[in-house]
Structure 1
Amino acid sequence: MSYKLRSALAAIALLGWLAVAHAVSFEVKDGNSTCIKAELTANFTITYPITNGTKTVVVPLPASAVVGSGSSCGDTPELLASFGDGHSLGLVFSKDSRLYQVANLSMRYNLSDNTTFPESSFKGVVTSITNTSGISAQLNTTYRCLSFTSIHLADSKVTITFSDVRMEAYMPSANLSTNESVCTADLPATTVAPTQSPTTTPAPTPASNPERGSYNVTNINGTVCLLARMGLQLNVTYFSKSKNKTVQGIVNLQPSRMAFSGSCEPTTAVLMLTDDLTNISFTFSLNSTTSKYHLSALNMSASWPDMTAPVTMANSSLNYLQGSLGRSYMCRSEQILPVVNAFSLNTFSLQVQPFGVSGNQFGSAEECQMDRDNMLIPIIVGAALAGLVLIVLIAYLIGRKRSHAGYQTI
């Protein structure tokens, strides 16, 4: 079943339960201390196998859901919301000096539940997961997202749609903070006005291209498993405190201020870049059958001084920077990678290799289409000039031969 059809089914199902859906409350405690508190509404669009193909159902998070036994506090607190016949929603949190985020979002569902999954040809428990949830907030603030936000899990068989979300992790007290980090979907929409008086005021474009930085990720055995060299420019739409309107901010990332880290798995590689104001993570996926990789997800959070609240934007259904295992992907030209409506990433002089790195060096490069086109133009122009010179030379020789033929020796 296509993604568009699954989305349409989800939308139809949403209309059926929207009027009666209510946020479900959860609290994870360690003794008398609360580390996670959440109020949220969620539904799960799940595609599962039947004898003659697949079937899609929409399962709402019921009011009877409870904090499961897998929930815990600590450095990486976890909320496990259990419901029904062996189903659960899992949120694992992590933090740095400024932000906390849902570092791991998972859905565990039991296909042996014939009531929820009729005609299922597989009987057993399935777990679907993503590490690019797009949910993050400043420490000691409540993450708020009242709008509908859909997150596609890694295998594309499960889509989680959240709404009416208020939650906080690493809580200093038992109550949600009155200070809020608001998701992008809740920010005021930009109003399209006549050309003479636009309501969206773009920020000044940086005077120069961003500086090219070098980044890498190492395995637990100390060998480099991901290499990247690139200049990065963020194009973000947000609500400005100083202008009291929606603006477009264009910011160059400075490599000298970026900390980098990540992880490598057989078919997934993640590069995370962080500075005082911005976090961005790149997730690459490898198709082990075709030995091709691509950039499959981008997650960006920013807390710039002029923002009314931190913003978080993510997309886990991308298909950029495609390359072959053991080779690097290169693009000297500027690339504009749309992520969501309010965020695009511009890359300059990019070379990246997320899989099959050997000897801590890039493999042979596969050039992007824009670079190939740029190389083709001089060749075409050169060939045209050479052809023109040849035509002029032939015309000159013919003319000269005719002029000699017009004279006779006396």
Structure 2
Amino acid sequence: MRVFPSLAALFIAWFAVLGCTQAVTLEVKEGNSTCIKAELSASFSITYNTSSGTRTASVSLPDSTTVDAASSSCGGSPWLVAVFGSGHTLGLSFSNNGSVYSVANLTLQYNLSDTSVFPDANSSDVVTVVSASVGIWAPINTTYRCLSPTAVTAGGATVTFFDMRLEAYMPGNDLSPTESVCVADQATTTAPTTTASTAAPTTPQPTAPGTPERGTYSLKDNNGTICLLAQMGLQLNVSYVSQAQNKTVQELLNLTPNLTNSSGSCGVSSATLVLTQEQTTVLSFTFTLNSTSNKYHLSGISLQANWSDLTAPISASNNSLDYLRSTLGRSYMCNAEQTLVVIQTFSLNTFRLQVQPFGVTTNQFATAEDCQMDQDQMLIPIIVGAALAGLVLIVLIAYLIGRKRSHAGYQTI
């Protein structure tokens, strides 16, 4: 039998790829405090040019990798920069919205003059590639864990992480015992097969979830005073690759208020509302106030999702939006359904929305400024009413004229 030699060859090939990948521990410190800690293995596949064409270099993150203290930093947007080999670096920058932290950017810098990795390269440049679609995130004060391979593509390079545990914005000096497990590591069950039926299996089609329930959300400042008020029904319109169907699907998903917690922060010129549903969906809104014009607007929306049917976590955001514009001291209201486009694969539908992120007094909404759609809907009955009134007036005038002519025909001579 040739099964065992084939299996042996498969294991040898597997260990050739992964066996040389070393686990490293990297920490970014500020004084005696650790803000980022990562325990991970990584391999790199990099395409580069030679005089005779292109080649692909494969290299792993060695156990001699160290943290570049000069480039790494703690603070609002902490950076982890790892140095390895002859002038190669791997950088991870982090961001958070008060409830969730995520890898905002992955930066890989590789030195083509390293002939041990890039033989016959026709350049000696140091190349930098960046990816903003990393898909690594977890709730604050938890450890992100992903033992399965996670590939991130940046330019002509692919970085594959293995056996990864990391945490940013750490409250202590060690990884949190509470873990946020990536989708690939989550246990899946397979439905039993049956031969009793000869009918072809069908995939159930998603059904529209209907109008979402309207939720009430609020934030308080350090004095315990309400500083942001919001009432709205929210519906996610998301395209993603389905694990069950093995294709890209588009889903409408309603946010359920009684399963959703609100958090965030209020500032003088910026306010952020974070809505978290069952630790699998985090939707955040950022409002910005222009102190010169005394106008505010919704400037940013982000979605972090880790649903069971995803092949990879969703991380979508846009901080250059201009929605829900209103005046300081007033609330914004729109009863009509609105579609707020965030990126090509994610938009947000709002229903019966009223929000006031600044200038809240007496814990109540101020006088509302209606959206254009509500104003247009109010104009329709006015226009119809005016048209009916005009028609009645025309009929009445015609009647009076006709009656006058009728009387004139019977005058005595």
- Residue 239 (structure 2) aligns with: 237
SS at match of 1:146: strand
Question: Are the aligned partners of 1:145 and 1:164 in contact in 2 as well (CA < 8 Å)?
Answer: yes
In structure 2, C-alpha distance between the alignment counterparts of 1:94 and 1:233, rounded to whole Å = 20
Structure 2 residue corresponding to 1:296, chosen from 296, 299, 312: 299
Residues 18-76 of structure 1, C-alpha deviation per residue, up to 9 Å, x if partnerless?
A: xxxxxxx9922689x992258799xxxxxxxxxxxxxxxxxxxxx99824486579xx9
Q: How does 1:228-377 map to 2 (within 5 A)?
A: 228-276=230-278, 277-377=280-380
In structure 2, C-alpha distance between the alignment counterparts of 1:329 and 1:278, rounded to whole Å = 25
Question: Are the aligned partners of 1:328 and 1:352 in contact in 2 as well (CA < 8 Å)?
Answer: yes
SS at match of 2:145: coil
Structure 2 residue corresponding to 1:390, chosen from 387, 390, 393: 393
Instruction: Provide the aligned C-alpha RMSD in A.
Output: 4.2
Residues 81-109 of structure 1, C-alpha deviation per residue, up to 9 Å, x if partnerless?
A: 499xxxx985356997xx7525x88xxxx
**Residues 133 and 241 (structure 1 numbering): CA distance in 2 closer, same or farther, change over 3 Å?**
closer
Question: Are the aligned partners of 2:183 and 2:306 in contact in 1 as well (CA < 8 Å)?
Answer: no
Question: Are the aligned partners of 1:203 and 1:249 in contact in 2 as well (CA < 8 Å)?
Answer: yes
In structure 1, C-alpha distance between the alignment counterparts of 2:97 and 2:327, rounded to whole Å = 32
In structure 1, C-alpha distance between the alignment counterparts of 2:401 and 2:71, rounded to whole Å = 94
Amino acid at match of 2:247: K
- For these two proteins, the number of residue pairs brought into alignment is 297
Residues 169-211 of structure 1, C-alpha deviation per residue, up to 9 Å, x if partnerless?
A: 23999xxx9x8669xxxxxxxxxxxxxxxxxx983222x2111
SS at match of 1:377: helix
Question: Are the aligned partners of 2:307 and 2:313 in contact in 1 as well (CA < 8 Å)?
Answer: yes
Q: Once the 2 structures are TM-superposed, how far is the Cα of residue 303 of structure 1 from its aligned partner?
A: 2.0
In structure 2, C-alpha distance between the alignment counterparts of 1:399 and 1:163, rounded to whole Å = 87
> Could you state the TM-score of these two structures normalised by the residue count of structure 1?
0.62
**Residues 315 and 164 (structure 1 numbering): CA distance in 2 closer, same or farther, change over 3 Å?**
farther
Question: Are the aligned partners of 1:137 and 1:181 in contact in 2 as well (CA < 8 Å)?
Answer: no
Amino acid at match of 1:330: M
Unpaired runs of 5+ in structure 1? 1-24, 42-62, 106-131, 149-161, 183-200
In structure 2, C-alpha distance between the alignment counterparts of 1:163 and 1:77, rounded to whole Å = 24
Unpaired runs of 5+ in structure 2? 1-23, 45-64, 84-90, 106-131, 139-143, 169-173, 185-203
SS at match of 1:358: coil
- Residue 146 (structure 1) aligns with: 153
Residues 100-146 of structure 1, C-alpha deviation per residue, up to 9 Å, x if partnerless?
A: 525x88xxxxxxxxxxxxxxxxxxxxxxxxxx999543531276532
Question: Are the aligned partners of 1:278 and 1:301 in contact in 2 as well (CA < 8 Å)?
Answer: yes
Residues 383-407 of structure 1, C-alpha deviation per residue, up to 9 Å, x if partnerless?
A: 0110011001101111111112212
Question: Are the aligned partners of 1:93 and 1:169 in contact in 2 as well (CA < 8 Å)?
Answer: no
In structure 2, C-alpha distance between the alignment counterparts of 1:165 and 1:324, rounded to whole Å = 48
Identity %: 48
- Residue 151 (structure 1) aligns with: none
In structure 1, C-alpha distance between the alignment counterparts of 2:232 and 2:43, rounded to whole Å = 39
SS at match of 2:391: helix
> Could you state the TM-score of these two structures normalised by the residue count of structure 2?
0.61
Q: Once the 2 structures are TM-superposed, how far is the Cα of residue 304 of structure 1 from its aligned partner?
A: 2.3
* Mapped pair 1:170 → 2:167: yes
Residues 315-358 of structure 1, C-alpha deviation per residue, up to 9 Å, x if partnerless?
A: 11111111111110110100000000000000000000011111
In structure 1, C-alpha distance between the alignment counterparts of 2:154 and 2:251, rounded to whole Å = 23
SS at match of 1:170: strand
SS at match of 1:373: helix
In structure 1, C-alpha distance between the alignment counterparts of 2:393 and 2:70, rounded to whole Å = 81
- Residue 404 (structure 1) aligns with: 407
- Residue 4 (structure 1) aligns with: none
- Residue 28 (structure 1) aligns with: 27
Q: Once the 2 structures are TM-superposed, how far is the Cα of residue 377 of structure 1 from its aligned partner?
A: 1.2
